[in-house]
Structure 1
Amino acid sequence: MRNVLLVSNGVRGTGSLGTALMQLHLSSWPEVEAYLTRSKAILIPIGSTEQHGPTGLLGTDALCAEFLAKRAGDEAGFLVGPTFNVGMAQHHMGFPGTLTLRPSTMIACMTDWANSLRRHGFERIYWLNGHGGNTGTISAAITALYHDTTFGDAAALRCMSRNWWELAGISDMIRELFPVGEGSHATPSEISITRYAYPEAIKRADLMPRIAPTGPVFDAKDFKRRFPDGRIGSDPTLANSGDGERLVNAVVRALIAEFGTFAKA
C-alpha cells in the first residue's frame, strides 16, 4: 500500500517511492481528505490549445501553466488540480489544431469545477493562467462564483488569477532575456519554457520576417490575414532551453511565495 503524506504550504509531501505527488488527479480520495485537514487551498493551471506560429506547440499556454504549477506544487507541498487546457482562442481558428470555447461555456465549466472543489471543503482557488486571451472570461467566472456566494447558500470561496508572466520580477526578466523580438504571441519566453520542459518536442522552421508584424486582433479571418504564420511581434528563433530553465526557476519561486500568501489570507 502506497503511503503518501500530503501537507500544506512549505512542507513537501512524499510517498513511499520518494516522489512528491501534489496533483489532484494522481491522488486518491483519502489523500485529498488528508490534505484538506492541513490546507484549504488548491492551484489550477489554466491555458489554451491554439496555434503558436510554425515552431510553437499548440499546447504552449496550457503546458507552461501546467509545468510551472506542478514544479511549484512539488517544491512547496500544495495541491495542483487538473489543467484547464482549452480556453478563449476563436481568433486562432484559421490555423489547424486550435480548439476554442464560447465565453459562456468557459464560465460554466470554471464555475462547475470550482463548485465541485468547494463542495469538498476547498476555500481558496488560485488559477495560474498561461493565455492572455482568457483573462476577461476568468474574471467573469470568478464574479459569477462570488455572486453565488452572495445570493445563495454556497460556502465562502476566494479565488485569485495570475498570468504567470506577471508574477513578481518575471516581466523584468523577460525584457532582460529578450529585449527585442519578444512580441505578444508565440513569444520566445513561452517557447523557451516548452523547450526546457519538453525537449523531445522542439520544432524548427525558417521564419520570414524574423520579427513578425504587430497589430490588433479581431476574428479568425482578420487574424490570419494580418499574421499569416500565426506570430504577433515575436521572433521565436530566440527561444532556447537554457533561458527556459532560468524562467521556470524564477517563476516557481515567485509562484510559491504568492500562493503561500493567498492560501493563508
Structure 2
Amino acid sequence: MPSTAPGPSTVPGPVAGSEEIRLQLRSWPEVEAYLAHCRGVIVPLGSTEQHGPTGAIGTDALTAEAVALEVGRRTGVLVTPAQAFGMAEHHLGFAGTISLQPSTLLAVLHDVVLSLARHGFERIYVINGHGGNIATARAAFAQAYGTAAARGLPGAERLRCRLANWFTAGPVMREARDRYGEREGHHATPSEIALTLHLEPSLTAKQRPLPEAAPAGPIHGPEDFRRRHPDGRMGSDPFLATADDGARFLELAATALSEDLAAFLGPEGDAG
C-alpha cells in the first residue's frame, strides 16, 4: 500500500483511445502505478427509481455514470463502478424503485471512501445523479474523515471528498431553463430524460405526450408522494426531451465538471 508518495498531482490529462479509465478493467499493479502520479478518483453515484410513466428507472445511475466516464476520458482520472442504488425512499410507491435507507447509503459511501483512502487515494470526486443522495453523501464524507484519522491511514489529513451534482452545474441549469422553462420541473425532467435518450436510443419509443404534471411540493413518504404525484412527475414535461438535447447536456456537464475536478486536484483543492 503506498504510504510515502506525494499528495495529489494535477489532472493526468486526456486519455488515448486505447487507455482504460474504468477502474474495474485495470489490474491492481496498474492502479498502484497510477497512484504514483495521481491520487484522484471519480465515483459515479445514482439511484434506481421511477422517473414518471415514460422515463427509465435507471435514469439517475445511467446519467451519473455517463458524465463520470466522459470526465474521466477528458482528464485521465480513474472512474470506479457506479453505485446504482441511492436514497429513494419517497419513490417506493412506484414499481421498480429500489432504495437504500439513508443509514445504509451512508455506510456504503463511508466504506467506499475508506477503501480508496487505504490505497492512497486522497481526492474522492463523487459525480451524483440524484438529489436525494446529497445530504447522506455529505454526512458519509464527514464520517469517513474521522474514521480515516482514527485508523491512522497514511494521508488521512489530506483526504478530501467532493460531491458534484451534474444536473446542478451552472451551464446545465441555464441550458435546461432556456430550452424548457418552467416545464423542466423537479423530477423526471426533460434534461435528464434527454441524456438517457442520447445514451440509449431505444428509450425514445417510450416517449409520448403527457398531461400537465402536478407541481412540486412537500413530500411525506412514498404513499403521500404517489397521492400528490400520481404518475411520478413533479412539474415536468419529459416529452420535450430529444437525444440531441441529451448530447448537449452531456457536453456541458462534462466540461463543467472536468474544470471543477482539475481545481479539486490542483494545489488549491485542499479547500474543497
Asked if Structure 1 and Structure 2 have the same fold, meaning a TM-score greater than 0.5 normalized by the shorter chain, the answer is yes
| 2-structure distance, mates of 1:31, 1:152 | 26
Residue matched to 1:175? 177
Give the percent of matched residue pairs that are identical in Structure 1 and Structure 2: 45
Secondary structure of the equivalent of 1:109?
helix
**Preserved CA contact (<8 Å) 2:87 2:100:** yes
Secondary structure of the equivalent of 1:100?
coil
Change (3 A) 1:113 1:131: same
Q: CA deviation at 1:171?
A: 1.4
Secondary structure of the equivalent of 2:163?
strand
Residue matched to 1:19? 18
| 2-structure distance, mates of 1:211, 1:19 | 45
Q: CA deviation at 1:203?
A: 4.1
Residue matched to 2:248? 246
**Preserved CA contact (<8 Å) 2:54 2:208:** no
- TM-score w.r.t. the length of structure 2 is 0.89
**Preserved CA contact (<8 Å) 1:181 1:211:** no
Secondary structure of the equivalent of 2:183?
coil
Q: How many pairs does the alignment contain? A: 256
**Preserved CA contact (<8 Å) 1:12 1:20:** no
Q: CA deviation at 1:12?
A: 2.9
**Preserved CA contact (<8 Å) 1:89 1:101:** yes
Gapped regions of structure 1 (runs ≥ 5): 1-6
Residue matched to 1:3? none
| 2-structure distance, mates of 1:192, 1:184 | 14
| 2-structure distance, mates of 1:198, 1:205 | 13
| 2-structure distance, mates of 1:222, 1:211 | 16
Tell me the amino acid that sits aligned with residue 130 of structure 1. G
Q: CA deviation at 1:212?
A: 3.6
Residue matched to 1:46? 45
Q: CA deviation at 1:84?
A: 0.9
Q: CA deviation at 1:27?
A: 1.1
Change (3 A) 1:203 1:98: farther
| 2-structure distance, mates of 1:133, 1:139 | 11
Residue matched to 2:5? none
Residue matched to 1:193? 195
Q: CA deviation at 1:142?
A: 0.8
Q: CA deviation at 1:182?
A: 0.4
Greater mean alpha carbon deviation, residues 238-247 or residues 142-151: 142-151
| 1-structure distance, mates of 2:230, 2:207 | 14
Q: CA deviation at 1:72?
A: 1.4
Q: CA deviation at 1:38?
A: 1.2
Counting helix residues as a fraction of each chain, which structure ranks higher?
A: 2
Q: CA deviation at 1:170?
A: 2.0
| 1-structure distance, mates of 2:205, 2:187 | 16
Q: Does 1:216 align with 2:218?
A: yes
Q: CA deviation at 1:257?
A: 0.5
| 1-structure distance, mates of 2:197, 2:207 | 15
Q: Pick from 161, 164, 181: which aligns with 1:162?
A: 164
Greater mean alpha carbon deviation, residues 46-55 or residues 148-157: 148-157
Q: Pick from 228, 231, 241: which aligns with 2:230?
A: 228
**Preserved CA contact (<8 Å) 2:114 2:148:** no
**Preserved CA contact (<8 Å) 1:8 1:35:** no
Tell me the amino acid that sits aligned with residue 118 of structure 2. R
| 2-structure distance, mates of 1:144, 1:39 | 24
| 2-structure distance, mates of 1:87, 1:69 | 16
| 2-structure distance, mates of 1:254, 1:169 | 7
